[in-house]
């Protein structure tokens, strides 16, 4: 599996992944509906902020924050853990191993190919946000938009690699859905998905800074709502990519060791 053949296979993989996303569009709709939690939290926090602002957040700040959260979540979705768990259990992972292409690459491209459909959902929300809030909260400098783009990519990479890592555990245990459930709970609470990280009380905030979750959603959202100036944003970006590299290393090790145990039952 040379780099060149991988690159040559990419367009086809993207086409297949996109066709798959179209074929399972009802599933996609269900998934999108299940990511509407930021909108529910928005309603909640607006009620809380009705009398007095919470921290520096008034009602409109919450509106900006949670609409941005919804958009970033659409852009950083990955579901490899479920895919791998299923394919290990049914033995169909063997099919992927036979192809002259690293399975992780094919998973990644499949997940990314669903992006255009997700943009269809995210764009109207972005329009709505612009309409309701204007551009006052968006970052002014193009450099910050550059940081935002890299941050979204980093957020997606952490999500994807964590998924892959947990998916690999299925090679030992047969199913890793339960581990994924625990991960998801921690993700929802500590990523800024339900509560802006800024609002956490002291100790928790320090803890959150050392966990990967914040860099999946919270950080890109904060950049998008102008919570940082450029130096601060770059500092956070460096931390985010440190997590990306750590997860990449870990996933690679676990994948290699786990694969030796794979027996393709039933496949």
Residue 133's closest CA among 51, 44, 225?
A: 225
| List 6, 46, 59, 226, residue binding other proteins (CB under 8 A) | 46
Q: How far apart are CA 250 and CA 234, in angstroms?
A: 24
Torsion 57-59-62-63 (CA) sign:
negative
Residue 170 near residue 94, CB atoms below 8 Å: no
| List 27, 229, 253, 259, residue binding other proteins (CB under 8 A) | 27
Q: How far apart are CA 236 and CA 151, in angstroms?
A: 9
On the 0-12 / 13-18 / 19+ scale of CB atoms within 10 A, 91 is middle
Q: Minimum distance from CB of 175 to other proteins (Å)?
A: 12
**Residue 31 binding other proteins, by CB under 8 A:** yes
> Which tokens go with 224?
């998008």
In the region spanning residues 202 to 241, those forming contacts with other proteins, defined by CB under 8 A, are 204
Q: Minimum distance from CB of 74 to other proteins (Å)?
A: 14
| List 2, 3, 34, 142, residue binding other proteins (CB under 8 A) | 34
Q: 77 in helix, strand or coil?
A: coil
In the region spanning residues 70 to 109, those forming contacts with other proteins, defined by CB under 8 A, are 79, 82
**Residue 33 binding other proteins, by CB under 8 A:** yes
Point out which residues bind other proteins (CB under 8 A): 24, 26-27, 30-31, 33-37, 40-41, 43-44, 46-48, 52, 54, 79, 82, 177-178, 181-182, 185-186, 189-190, 194-195, 199-201, 204
């Amino acid at each position: 599996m040379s780099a060149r053949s991988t690159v040559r296979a990419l367009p086809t993989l993207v086409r297949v992944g996109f066709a798959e996303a179209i074929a399972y569009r009802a599933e996609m709709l269900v998934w999108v509906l299940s990511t509407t939690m930021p909108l529910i939290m928005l309603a909640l926090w607006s009620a809380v902020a009705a009398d007095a602002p919470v921290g520096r957040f008034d009602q409109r700040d919450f509106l900006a924050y949670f609409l941005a959260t919804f958009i970033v979540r659409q852009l950083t979705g990955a579901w490899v853990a479920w895919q791998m768990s299923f394919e290990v259990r049914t033995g169909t992972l063997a099919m992927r191993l036979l192809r002259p292409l690293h399975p992780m690459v094919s998973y990644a491209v499949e997940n990314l190919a669903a992006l255009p459909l997700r943009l269809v959902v995210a764009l109207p929300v972005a329009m709505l946000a612009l309409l309701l809030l204007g551009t006052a909260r968006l970052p002014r400098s193009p450099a910050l938009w550059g940081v935002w783009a890299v941050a979204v990519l980093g957020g997606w990479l952490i999500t994807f690699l964590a998924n892959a890592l947990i998916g690999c555990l299925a090679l030992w245990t047969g199913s890793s859905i339960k581990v994924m459930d625990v991960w998801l709970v921690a993700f929802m609470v500590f990523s800024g998905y339900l509560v802006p990280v800024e609002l956490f009380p002291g100790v928790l905030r320090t803890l959150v800074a050392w966990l990967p979750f914040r860099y999946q959603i919270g950080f890109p959202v904060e950049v998008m709502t102008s919570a940082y100036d450029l130096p601060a944003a770059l500092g956070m970006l460096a931390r985010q990519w440190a997590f990306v590299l750590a997860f990449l290393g870990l996933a690679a090790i676990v994948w290699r060791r786990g694969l030796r145990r794979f027996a393709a039952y039933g496949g």
